[in-house]
Amino acid sequence: MEISGTTALVTGGSAGIGREIAHQLKLKGATVIITGRDEGRVAAMRNLGFEVIPAGLSYARDVDNLVEALGDRAIDILVNNAGQGVDHDFREAPPDMTATDECIHANLNAPIRLGAALIPRLGEQPAAAIVNVTSGLAIAPRASSPVYCATKAGLRSYTQALRAQLGDTNIRVIEALPPVVDTQMTAGRDNRKMLPEECARQIIEAIEKDRVEANIGMVKLLKLVHSISPALAQKIMLRF
């Protein structure tokens, strides 16, 4: 897909992987609209020339408000990148169910709802793409993040089915599976982390080369192990 001249919507585009995706799309000639919640980061992105729609995606009304704010803008590329983690470890403390519900909506319901709203206008373009950012944890979960892993596994399954449904259309459905990336969400973790710039580069490459998956960094190895022995991959990741 040729990125120059397109209009892209990147959710969660004011920080981390999303911010790098937004920058790299803009450098390749796209008009980029982002969403973000943090006022300081939103202001910084506006100062860099990005169109910003302040929005969280933890509730259905947030997605509806975002679609309304877009008006009738043509969209060529939708990057469902926004996501959030949640503490949900019974070994540590009882889970906060409000935070759990917000995580499920932001990571799973919102991409489904936003995609459903925008597929008609994506279908009007000569070529279009939906990029759903999941995680290596969509392949095999880690024990300390059951809700986050479940949302990413759910989005992976949805993405695969959506790709089959839209297979005869102009809309390419891409899944991006990052490893542990150096972002605010992973602050404090000691794992070796990929730089967000490199993660974004590989996602952009998948868009340009019309790939259906971007298996990034160590996720390539995880997929190989999983293809040989799903039980071994699960055992490794549960302890990760």
Q: Mark whether 148 is an active-site residue.
A: yes
How many Å apart are CA 102 and CA 71, to the nearest integer? 25
* 219 closest CA partner among 128, 138, 109: 138
* Buried-exposed string 7-32: b where 16+ CB fall within 10 A, e elsewhere: bbbbbbbbbbbbbbbbbbbbebebbb
Task: Count how many Cα atoms sit within 13 Å of the Cα of residue 48 in the half-sphere of its side chain.
Answer: 21
How many Å apart are CA 69 and CA 65, to the nearest integer? 6
Catalytic residue among 10, 119, 148, 175: 148
Active site members:
148
